[in-house]
Amino acid sequence: MSAATQARHWYWQRISAMVLAACVLVHLVTIVYAVRSGLSGEALLARTRGSVAFAVFYTMFVLACAVHVPIGLARIAEEWLGWRERASALAARAVALAIVAMGLRAVYAMVFA
Protein backbone atom coordinates (compact mmCIF):
# COMPACT_ATOMS: atom_id res chain seq x y z
CA MET A 1 0.00 0.00 0.00
CA SER A 2 1.41 3.34 -0.99
CA ALA A 3 2.22 5.99 1.58
CA ALA A 4 -0.45 8.27 0.07
CA THR A 5 -3.09 5.55 0.42
CA GLN A 6 -2.04 4.97 4.02
CA ALA A 7 -2.33 8.68 4.73
CA ARG A 8 -5.78 8.82 3.12
CA HIS A 9 -6.90 5.79 5.10
CA TRP A 10 -5.76 7.52 8.28
CA TYR A 11 -7.70 10.62 7.26
CA TRP A 12 -10.90 8.74 6.51
CA GLN A 13 -10.65 6.71 9.66
CA ARG A 14 -10.19 9.90 11.67
CA ILE A 15 -13.15 11.61 9.98
CA SER A 16 -15.36 8.53 10.35
CA ALA A 17 -14.35 8.30 14.02
CA MET A 18 -15.58 11.85 14.55
CA VAL A 19 -18.90 11.01 12.90
CA LEU A 20 -19.18 7.80 14.93
CA ALA A 21 -18.48 9.62 18.19
CA ALA A 22 -21.46 11.88 17.57
CA CYS A 23 -23.64 9.05 16.23
CA VAL A 24 -22.96 6.74 19.18
CA LEU A 25 -23.81 9.51 21.61
CA VAL A 26 -27.10 10.29 19.88
CA HIS A 27 -27.83 6.57 19.54
CA LEU A 28 -27.33 5.91 23.27
CA VAL A 29 -29.37 8.91 24.34
CA THR A 30 -32.13 7.83 21.96
CA ILE A 31 -32.15 4.30 23.41
CA VAL A 32 -32.43 5.60 26.96
CA TYR A 33 -35.21 7.94 25.91
CA ALA A 34 -37.03 5.36 23.77
CA VAL A 35 -37.07 2.71 26.48
CA ARG A 36 -39.59 4.78 28.39
CA SER A 37 -42.28 4.26 25.77
CA GLY A 38 -41.76 0.54 25.27
CA LEU A 39 -39.39 -1.73 23.37
CA SER A 40 -41.86 -3.96 21.56
CA GLY A 41 -41.58 -4.31 17.77
CA GLU A 42 -44.80 -2.40 17.27
CA ALA A 43 -43.68 0.45 19.53
CA LEU A 44 -40.34 0.75 17.73
CA LEU A 45 -41.81 0.66 14.25
CA ALA A 46 -44.48 3.14 15.21
CA ARG A 47 -41.74 5.62 15.99
CA THR A 48 -39.45 4.90 13.05
CA ARG A 49 -41.77 4.24 10.09
CA GLY A 50 -41.77 7.12 7.69
CA SER A 51 -39.22 9.05 9.75
CA VAL A 52 -36.82 10.73 7.34
CA ALA A 53 -34.66 11.93 10.24
CA PHE A 54 -34.24 8.34 11.46
CA ALA A 55 -33.35 7.18 7.95
CA VAL A 56 -30.82 9.95 7.37
CA PHE A 57 -29.19 9.56 10.79
CA TYR A 58 -28.80 5.78 10.68
CA THR A 59 -27.70 5.79 7.04
CA MET A 60 -24.92 8.13 8.08
CA PHE A 61 -24.14 5.85 11.03
CA VAL A 62 -23.94 2.79 8.78
CA LEU A 63 -21.72 4.53 6.23
CA ALA A 64 -19.36 5.79 8.95
CA CYS A 65 -19.08 2.22 10.27
CA ALA A 66 -18.46 0.91 6.76
CA VAL A 67 -15.53 3.32 6.42
CA HIS A 68 -14.10 3.00 9.91
CA VAL A 69 -14.32 -0.68 10.75
CA PRO A 70 -12.67 -2.26 7.67
CA ILE A 71 -9.61 0.00 7.87
CA GLY A 72 -9.06 -1.00 11.49
CA LEU A 73 -9.74 -4.69 10.87
CA ALA A 74 -7.28 -4.74 7.96
CA ARG A 75 -4.55 -3.36 10.24
CA ILE A 76 -5.35 -5.92 12.93
CA ALA A 77 -5.29 -8.74 10.38
CA GLU A 78 -1.90 -7.62 9.12
CA GLU A 79 -0.28 -6.95 12.48
CA TRP A 80 -1.78 -9.68 14.66
CA LEU A 81 -2.65 -12.44 12.23
CA GLY A 82 0.20 -11.84 9.79
CA TRP A 83 -2.11 -11.51 6.78
CA ARG A 84 -0.65 -10.18 3.60
CA GLU A 85 -1.70 -6.74 2.51
CA ARG A 86 -3.68 -7.99 -0.48
CA ALA A 87 -5.63 -10.51 1.59
CA SER A 88 -6.42 -8.00 4.31
CA ALA A 89 -7.49 -5.40 1.74
CA LEU A 90 -9.88 -7.86 0.08
CA ALA A 91 -11.29 -8.96 3.42
CA ALA A 92 -11.71 -5.32 4.43
CA ARG A 93 -13.70 -4.59 1.28
CA ALA A 94 -15.90 -7.61 1.92
CA VAL A 95 -16.53 -6.43 5.49
CA ALA A 96 -17.33 -2.93 4.23
CA LEU A 97 -19.85 -4.27 1.74
CA ALA A 98 -21.42 -6.50 4.38
CA ILE A 99 -21.79 -3.59 6.80
CA VAL A 100 -23.34 -1.40 4.12
CA ALA A 101 -25.71 -4.14 2.93
CA MET A 102 -26.86 -5.27 6.37
CA GLY A 103 -26.96 -1.78 7.81
CA LEU A 104 -28.95 -0.19 5.00
CA ARG A 105 -31.28 -3.18 4.89
CA ALA A 106 -32.00 -2.64 8.58
CA VAL A 107 -32.60 1.07 8.03
CA TYR A 108 -34.94 0.30 5.13
CA ALA A 109 -36.83 -2.22 7.21
CA MET A 110 -37.27 0.23 10.10
CA VAL A 111 -38.38 3.18 7.99
CA PHE A 112 -39.88 2.12 4.68
CA ALA A 113 -40.92 -1.54 4.89
Partner 1 sequence: MSTLRVSIWRGRDDGRFVTYEVPRQASQTVLDVVTHVQRHVDPSLSYRFACRVGMCGSCAMTVNGVARWTCRTHVSKVVDGKSSNRGGVPVSRPAPMATSDAGDAAVDGTTEGSDGDGGSLTIAPLANLPVIKDLVTDMREFFDKWARAKGQFKGASTRQDDFARVMPASPQRRLADAGIECIGCGVCYASCDVVAWRPDFAGPAALNRAWTLVNDVRDVQQPQRLRAVAGDAGCHACHTQGSCTERCPKQLAPTAAIAGLKRATARAAMRGKL
Binding site for partner 1 (CB under 8 A): 1-11, 14, 79
- Smallest gap from Cβ 58 to partner 1, in A, equals 27
Instruction: Measure the CA angle with vertex 95, ends 71 and 89; round to 5°.
Output: 50
- Smallest gap from Cβ 75 to partner 1, in A, equals 9
Using CA of residue 35, residue 37, residue 43, residue 46, what is the dihedral sign? negative
DSSP state of 108: H
- Smallest gap from Cβ 86 to partner 1, in A, equals 14
Whose Cβ is closer to partner 1: residue 49's or residue 84's?
A: 84
- Smallest gap from Cβ 106 to partner 1, in A, equals 31
Whose Cβ is closer to partner 1: residue 33's or residue 80's?
A: 80
Whose Cβ is closer to partner 1: residue 8's or residue 105's?
A: 8
Instruction: Measure the CA angle with vertex 92, ends 106 and 113; round to 5°.
Output: 10
Whose Cβ is closer to partner 1: residue 3's or residue 53's?
A: 3
Phi, psi (degrees; rounded to nearest 5) at 102: -70, -40
Rg (CA), the chain: 17
